Each structure stands twice: as C-alpha cells, then as structure tokens.
Chain A
Amino acid sequence: MSSVIKAIPDAVAPPRLEWRVASVVDARDETPRAKTLVLDVPQWPGHRAGQHVDVRLVAEDGYQGQRSYSIASPPEDETVTLTVERLADGEVSPYLVELRPGDGLELRGPIGGHFVWNVAVGGPLLLVGGGSGVVPLMAMLRHYARADAAARAAVPVRLLYSARTADDVFYRAELAQLADQPLVDVVFTFTRGAPPAWTGYRRRIDRAMVEAVSWSPAAAPRAYVCGPTSLVESVATLLVDLGHAASLVRTERFGPTG
C-alpha cells in the first residue's frame, strides 16, 4: 500500500500547552513580601525540578497579563507550589499575593527543559541562588530529599543562598531541616544586614566565597545558578574562571517580575 508512506507524518505535532484553571488550596506568607501558593492543577502532566509555569491574568476588558514563575515543589508532589514576591509597582504580583484558598488561577506548563535536575543526573550538585532565584533550586532540593537513601548517598549537595536579610529567606525552616542531612550543606550570605550573632558571610557572592563553597573543578560538580542578572553573570563567570567546565554550569535569570 503506497498510501502507508504518505500516512506517516514527518514529525508528530507536539501537544499544545493548554491553559488550565488551577485552584488555590493554600496561600501562606513566605516572607513579609512573598507568598507561597499551593495549587491544584487539573490534569497536571507532571514536571521536572527546575521548570516553570506561565501564569495568565485576564481582565474583564480582555486585557491580559502574563508572567513566568518557577515551580518550588518537587515532581513527587501532586500539587504545584509557586512563591511570588510582591513588587510594589508590579501588575501581576500584587494580584497573586492576594489570592486565597478556593480562588482560581490560570496557568500553563511545565516549561523549560534545560535548567532541570534529577537524582539520576547525579552530582555533586552545586546550587547558587539569589533572592527569589532560590525557588527552582528548592524544587531540586525537595526532589533530592524524597529520593531513596542510596541515591542521596551518591550525591552531595551544597546550596549557596544570597539574601538581603534573614527575613528575606524563603523556606527557612525547611532549609534548616535539609541542612541536617549528612550530605547537604546550606550556606547563607546576607547582603543588607545579618542577625546580630551572625558569623557567616555578609557580602555579595565573590570569588573567595564561590571557591570556599564549591567543590574543586576536578570533582566536576553540576552547577545551577539562578537569581538576578548581576549575580548569575558574576557567579557563572567565576565558576568558569575557577576551571569548571562551562557545559556543567546552567543558568537562569530570576529577578522579581511585576
């Protein structure tokens, strides 16, 4: 049958990422300026740690605002968690931080296939986050914490987290718990004021800090760097200057968006 050849398409058209109306199941303060939203998304196809969603707000007059938000929850969760920082002059974020349980929110995803990690990829795993850039890194940490003990034993993890002050730290209690695990180190640096008894870093991430926190290039850590442009640019450049392979350094800009 010659028609068989014609019937085979060159490529299967990928399914469209459909907009879905999620419902808010929990909304809690993460910091004084940021809210964590736990969402029940109908027919959520699942995601990988590090991916994001697009959120769409459609006004009565048809005007639409869209923003991208990284997913904070691990693939193992049935719900999808976002953390939204409120920008005073923003358009979308002030609306999102006022959402309450039961409210609807339109989104589609998951999006992004490069800034992703899972335990099978292995480590050592070096995570460097600035401000709200910690969100996709948290999905990776939460995924790691759900892995079985043997998988975790093969992957040491270090998080270097730059925040303005201790009050600006997302997921503080959970990070403290994670840091209790034998192979997990969590290192903070506070750029605009540390607690009185603080003996750790209190400056922007620099070469000495990256060198102290990271493994040597010989250990070939997989690095994921997410945060404002200046942080991402400087940390990625420092890692390459220190001898890390550029192909092992993955970056994502995650400034607060309005």
Chain B
Amino acid sequence: MADQPFIARGFRRRSPATGDAPRVPPGQYETKDFPVLSAGPTPRTPLSTWDFTIRDTDGRAARWSWDEFQKLPRDNPTVDIHCVTKWSKLGTRWEGVSVDTLLAAAAAQGAGTGPFALAFCDGGYTTNLSLADVTGGKAWVAFGYDGAALPPEHGGPARLLVPHLYFWKSAKWVRGLQFLLSDQPGFWEQHGHHDRGDPWREQRYQGDP
C-alpha cells in the first residue's frame, strides 16, 4: 500500500508551493508556534548542581560545571527544526556549544568518543545518535533560544540541538553523552520510533526505510 498512496479526492495543499528548494520535509507542515512535547513533568535542575559529562567507551569522562560550560566557545546557529508529530519550524535561532567543540575539549581531558552515543537527561530521557550525526557542525548543546535563556519547557537549562534529525533526537534537559560501541535505542526508540530519524527520508517509526 505504501507504494500506491490512496488519493484523498478533493484534498489540496493550503499554501501554494514555492519554486525554491523545499524546506519542509514530506508529511510536515510549517508552524510559527513552538509546540512543547514531553513524556512527563518538566525537570527543574538548579544551575549550581547542573553539569555536562562526556564519557567514552572506556569509561573515561570529561565534565563541565555550568560556569565552565559557559566559558566554552559558542555558536549561534539558525536552523529549521522538524518534529515527528508533523510540525516544522523554520529559521529558529539558538545559542550553544558545538558538539565538535565539546569533543575536542573532552579529548584534551583524556576522554575519547565511540561510534554511537546515548544522550542522557534529567527526568530519565535518553536518545541514541551515531557519532557521524553529532559531529561535523551538525549538533550543539544549546542553552539560548531566540536571544534569551532556553526556557525549561523547551529543554532549559540546556538541550541537545540536532536539527537535521527529527526533533525528539534534540534531547531536552540534556546532561551528557555516553559513547558506546554499539547502537542502543533510547526512550522513544524503544517505544517504536526510528533509530536514526531523518525527516527527509521520513524515518518516523521503526521499520521505516
């Protein structure tokens, strides 16, 4: 059935297609809103106890307190984001530290990487990512949104930002990355979501191509 979509007679797109390269992936719609999705209550971690850890496959770790984290070189990416629940938001403005920067700083402290990462968070949320998906200028740990501190409901004090994958990969309230030798499904991935989640290939759920 997937190869021959059922035509919904009389259904038409509301906004006219533009001639530009599309920025909204298949099955998504653009929203100006910034919806909030989470599985449970919003955790509230005081900055005095917040830290961020990178742990490699041999258990060697690099760790930053909030103040130390703030002293790392920062980026200001403007990116389009795509949620598996179908909304896309274009041109969102963030501030944070590139994962490339973090890994270089971690290496200086003796902590390496691994082929896969599991992001872990306050509240117990996890999500899995490959090393390739968090390096090469594609991923950040963001603490600022639209010129202000990232609000708790959107993942503050800090969240992962991996905009080229569906937004559940951009883990809210992130506290670190555990590198692994094999891919280990995270929270939503264990509940049926895709292990990689490329919106342009519509990798929404397990079994999607």
**Interface, chain A (partner B; CB < 8 A):** 13-21, 54, 56-60, 63-68, 89, 91, 95, 104-106, 111-115, 229, 232-233, 236-237, 239-240, 246-247, 249-253, 255, 257-258
State whether A251 touches B40 (Cβ < 8 A).
Answer: yes
Residues of chain B with a CB closer than 8 A to A18's CB: 1-2
State whether B192 touches A113 (Cβ < 8 A).
Answer: yes
Residues of chain A with a CB closer than 8 A to B208's CB: 16-17
State whether B2 touches A65 (Cβ < 8 A).
Answer: no
Q: Number of A-B pairs whose CB atoms are under 8 Å?
A: 117
Closest 10 CB pairs of A and B: A16-B207, A113-B191, A236-B41, A66-B27, A57-B8, A14-B206, A58-B5, A91-B14, A229-B36, A63-B13
Let me know if B10 is at the binding interface, CB within 8 A: yes
CA distance A27 to B7 in the complex (A): 20
Question: Main SS of the interface on chain B?
Answer: loop
26 A-B residue pairs with CB within 8 Å: A14-B207, A16-B207, A18-B2, A21-B6, A56-B5, A57-B8, A63-B17, A64-B5, A66-B86, A104-B6, A106-B5, A106-B8, A111-B205, A112-B192, A113-B190, A113-B191, A113-B192, A229-B35, A233-B36, A237-B41, A239-B41, A246-B40, A246-B123, A250-B40, A251-B38, A252-B37
Question: Main SS of the interface on chain A?
Answer: mixed
**Interface, chain B (partner A; CB < 8 A):** 1-2, 5-14, 17, 26-29, 35-43, 85-86, 123-124, 153, 187-188, 190-192, 204-208
Report if A251-B39 is in contact (Cβ < 8 Å); known contacts: A19-B2, A63-B17, A257-B86.
yes
CA distance A232 to B40 in the complex (A): 9
State whether A67 touches B26 (Cβ < 8 A).
Answer: no
CA distance A112 to B27 in the complex (A): 18
